[in-house]
Structure 1
C-alpha cells in the first residue's frame, strides 16, 4: 500500500512550528543562563556593597580593635540586615569569632563554613556554602582600622531568594515562548495558504507529476518546440527541435542562451515585443528551411515570453505531396466514375433503341479519346505525379462540361528536386481550378481551357488560357492579394498561393485579359531537370 504523503499546508505548519520551537528553546536556554549569571552577579554585588558599608562603620571597627562592644555591633548589624533584606550579617574578629549573628546564642563562637579564610587574609571573596542558616550566597569583606586588618564582615543572601528570582525569569521566558509558538503557528498557516494559492491549489506531488507529464509530452511531440522568456533567453527546447538544429549545424545545449545569439534568423523577440502571433512562416536556418508558428505567452494580460513550433519544410512538402496525390486520385476516381456512369446510360439507351452502328462509333470515339489524352500526357510528361494530376484534371473538367486541353510543345523532364513537383501542382492546379470556377459561372457558350507547356534551357513556360469573361479592371493590380476575388467573400486564396509558389521557384507570372484571348496566365519558372536526364 502506498504511503500517504502529508499535505503541503500541514508540512509547512509542522516545519515552521519545529523551527520556531527549536529557536525559542535555544533562545530560552541562552536567556536563562544569562539571567542566572546576572542574578548571581547582582546578588554578589549587593552583598559586597553591604559588607563594605558595615566594614567602614566606626562602631564595627572600634568593637574589633577594643575587642569589646559586641552588643553595639549586634544592634548595628541587625538594623542593616532588616533594612537590606539579607539573610545574615556576621562580624568576626581575626580569629573567626563572631561579634554579631541573627541568632544571639551563636555570638562569641567561631564562624562555620571554612570559606572565610581568603577574607581573613585580606581579600574580598564570595562563595555559595551551607551554614547554620542554611545554604546561602556569601560575600566576605575585610575590616581595616588605621591600615591594619582587624576582622571580617560576612553578608549572606539565602539561595532560595536567588532561585525564586531565577524561576520568575524562566517563567517569563516560557510565557514568551508559548506566545511566540502561537504566533509562529498562525504565520505558518498563513504562509501555507499563500504558497498553496501561488501553486493554484496543487500539492508538490501533483506538480511533480504534471511537470513530468508535460516534459514527456514535449519530448514526444514530432514538431520542434522552443520557448523564450521576456528577455529572449531560451528556457525550453524539446528533442525534435534539437534534431532539427543539429541538422542545421547549430551547437548543442542552447538553454540559457539568447535566442538571437543562437539562431540569427529567428523572429521570436519580435513576437514578444509586439505580442502578436505569426503562423505558417518560412524560416531559413543555415540553409535548412523550416515552417514555423510563433505565439506569445501571455499570463494575466502580460507577455512573459514566446513559443515557437516548427517542422522541417522538406517533411511538410512530402506530406503535402502525399495529400495532393491522394486528393487527386480521389477526385479522378470520382470524376471518372461519374463520367463512366453517364456513358453507360448512353450505351444502355442506344442498345434499347437498337442503334448498333451508332453505338459502335460512340464506343470507338470514347476509346480513342481516352487513349489520345492519357497517351499524350504520359509520353511527354516524365514526372508521374504531375502526369497523374493532369489526367485527373481532364476528367474533372469534362464533368463540368468544360473542354480542357493539355498541349505539350516539348518533353517535360522530371525535376531535380521533389519540392518543385509540389509547387508545380500548386501553380497549374490553382490556375486550372480558377479557370473552371470562372467558366462554370460564365454565360459563354464555348467553355474551353488550354494549357500550354514548354521546356527550354532549364526553364518551364506555362500558359493557361480560358474562354471566360475578361477580368474587371479594378482587380488587375490586386488579383494576387490574399482574399481578393471577384467571386465574393471567403475566396481569393488560389492565385495568392500561385504567386507564392512562383516566387519560391524564382520565376515570374503575368496576366493578360482582352476580347480576343480572354484571360491568359503566363508563368515562367526555373525547372532544373533530374541529373540522370541531363545530357
Structure 2
C-alpha cells in the first residue's frame, strides 16, 4: 500500500512549491521588465549623446568643411565617448564617410552596419547592428546646418556585451532576492506546519477524522442527553438522546447554532459560563416534565470556552432508584433476619442438647410473640407495604447491630403513591441509618422512631442516644457532601432535605453533646381516599 504523506510534509511541500513557482514567475517577469528598462535606458543615453553631438557647433563646422574643426573633432568625440562610457561616437557626412572613429584607421572610410539609411533621410532611430567593433546598440541622429539642410549623421554605439553585462548585474540582484524569498518561504512553511501540527496535538488528518467519528459514536451511544454551548450561549453540539428528549418535550427544530434559551431555561448555564462553577443534579421542569440536569464549564488552557449540560428524565432515574432502594432494603432485611435466625437456631439446638424442653418452649413463645407483635404493630398502622417493609427490615438490622429500635405509631399512615412513598423511604431510611451510625460506639444503643399527627402534618421523629451534633455541624449538616464519616459521604441528610422540599415538608433538629440527637421531619397529611 502506498504510504500517505504526513500533514507536516504535505504543508511543507505545498507551500514550498507555491513559493518557488511564485518566485520563478516573478523572476521571469521582473527580469524581462528590467532588461527592457535597461535597454531603453541605454538607448535613451545613446540618443541623448547623439543629439548633443548633432547640436554641437564644432561638429557642424567640421561637416561644412572647416579645416580647424576637422582637426579638433576627433579629439572632441573621443573625450565625450570616454566621459560617457560608450563604445563609439562616429560623425558621418552625407556620403556615409566617417569623420571620427575610435580607431583612427577607420576614419575616411564608409560606415558599416547598414542602419544609417534612415538617419541619412533625416529620421532619428535606434538599432542593433554589427560594425567594425562588433555588435552594438546604436543611436543615429541627423545633423542639420543652420539653414535646415542635413549635413550628416551622429552615430553613438554601446557594445552589446556592455548591455548584457548591465542586464546580468540586475538579474543577479533578482536571483539573490529570489533565493532570500525562497529561504523565507521555506522557513515560514516550516513554522506554519509546526504550528498547525501543535494546534492539532500532533495528529494527522486521518487520525482526527477517526477521533471525530469515535467521539460522535460515543456521544450518541450515551443515554443521557448532552448539549454543549459556546460563550454566547449558542448550541454547538447535541447528541441523539438530547434530540429525542427535546422532541418528547415538543421541541422539534434542529438546535445546532440556535440559542439554548430557545429550548430550555438558560439561567443555570449562564451562571456556569460567568462563574465557571459546576451545577450538579439540579431539577428542571420543561412542559410539565421534570429532568435532572448537570452543568459544567468547558475549559481550554484554564479559560472557559463554553459549557456542557447533561440531562435525563427524572422518571427514568426514579425507577432505577426505586428498584435499587427496594433491593437494598430487602437485602438488609434478609441479611438481618438470617443472622437472627442463625442465632436463635443455635440457642434452640443448645437447649435440645441439654433436654431443657420447658425453657425451650418459653423461648419459642417469646420469639413468636415478638415477631407477631412487631409485624402487627407496624402493618396495622402503616398501610403502605413499601414503608412497612422498610421498618421491618430496619428492626432486624438494628438487632443485628446490637441496637434497640423502638417504633411508636400514633397515627395511621395510608397507602401512598409510588412518588410519595419513595420520598418517605428516602427520609426514614437515611434518618434511621444515621441514628444507627450515631449509637454504634455508645454505651446505650437505643433508637426511637415515632409517627404522630399534629395539625394536619405527619411527624416522623427519630431519636438516638449517640454523641450528638455540634452547633458548627448543625449549620452545614443538610448541605451536599458535608459529613464527619469520611470521603464519599454526606449525601444522606441532603437527600432527606430534598425529599422534604418536594413533599412541602420541613425538618427540625435538636442535639446535645453526649446525650443524643432528635430529628423531626414533618410532611402534610395525605388522606387515603385521595389516592396519594
C-alpha distance in 1 between matches for 2:173 and 2:518: 103
Instruction: Name the CA shift for 1:464/1:151 in 2 (closer, same or farther; >3 Å).
Output: same
Aligned-pair distance for 1:501? 0.7
Check conservation: 2:47, 2:139, Cα contact below 8 A.
yes
Deviation, structure 1 residue 139: 0.9
C-alpha contact (below 8 Å) 1:508/1:525 kept by paired residues: no
Alignment of 1:289 with 2:287, yes or no, is: no
| 1:418-441 C-alpha deviation (Å, 9 max, x unpaired) | 432321211222344355556666
5+ long unaligned stretches in structure 2: none
CA distance, structure 2, for counterparts of residue 330 and residue 406 of structure 1? 24
Distance in 1, matches of 2:528 and 2:106, equals 134
The partner residue of 1:502 within 500, 503, 511 is: 500
Question: Of residues 440, 458, 461 in structure 2, which corresponds to 1:461?
Answer: 458
**Residues 234-313 of structure 1 mapped to structure 2, 5 A cutoff:** 234-250=235-251, 252-260=253-261, 262-313=263-314
SS of match in other structure, 1:296: strand
Q: Which residue of 2 aligns with 1:396?
A: 397
The 5 Å alignment of 1:66-81 reads: 66=65, 76-81=76-81
Matches within 5 A, 1:138-157: 138-145=138-145, 146-157=147-158
Bigger CA drift: 392-401 or 103-112? 103-112
| Shift of residue 270, structure 1, vs aligned partner | 1.8
Residues in 2 aligned to 1:58 and 1:2: alpha-carbon distance in whole angstroms = 82
For normalisation by structure 2, the TM-score amounts to 0.80
Superposed CA RMSD in Å reads 4.3
User: Judging changes above 3 Å, is the alpha-carbon distance between structure 1 residues 183 and 409 closer, same or farther for their aligned structure 2 residues?
Assistant: closer
CA offset digits 1:145-189 (Å, max 9, x no partner): 112222222222221111111112112222232233334434444
The 5 A counterparts of 1:179-190 are 179-190=180-191
Q: How does 1:75-90 map to 2 (within 5 A)?
A: 76-90=76-90
Are residues 438 and 200 of structure 1, via their aligned partners in 2, closer, same or farther at CA, if it must alter by over 3 Å? Answer: closer
Q: Distance in 1 between matches of 2:78 and 2:508?
A: 130
- Give me the whole-angstrom Cα distance separating, in 2, the residues matched to 1:488 and 1:307: 32
How many corresponding residue pairs?
Answer: 523
In structure 2, what is the Cα distance between the partners aligned to 1:195 and 1:341? Answer: 71
Question: Residues 484, 155 of structure 1: CA spacing in aligned structure 2 closer, same or farther, 3 A cutoff?
Answer: closer
Q: Secondary structure at the match of 1:139?
A: strand
**Structure 1 pair 61–521 and aligned structure 2 pair: CA distance change class (3 A):** closer
C-alpha distance in 1 between matches for 2:305 and 2:357:
80
Question: Does structure 2 retain, via aligned residues, the 8 Å contact 1:277–1:294?
Answer: yes
SS at match of 1:218: helix
**TM-score normalized by the length of structure 1:** 0.80
Deviates further, 161-170 or 381-390: 381-390
Q: Which residue of 2 aligns with 1:427?
A: 427
**Which deviations, in whole Å up to 9, do the C-alpha atoms of 1:488-513 show, x marking residues without a partner?**
66687644432321110223455799
Q: Deviations over 1:433-459 (max 9, x none)?
A: 3555566666669x5745548899xx8
**What are the ranges of 5 or more consecutive residues in structure 1 without an aligned counterpart?**
none
Shift of 1:90: 3.1
The question of whether the paired residues in 1 share the 8 Å contact of 2:282 and 2:294 is answered with yes
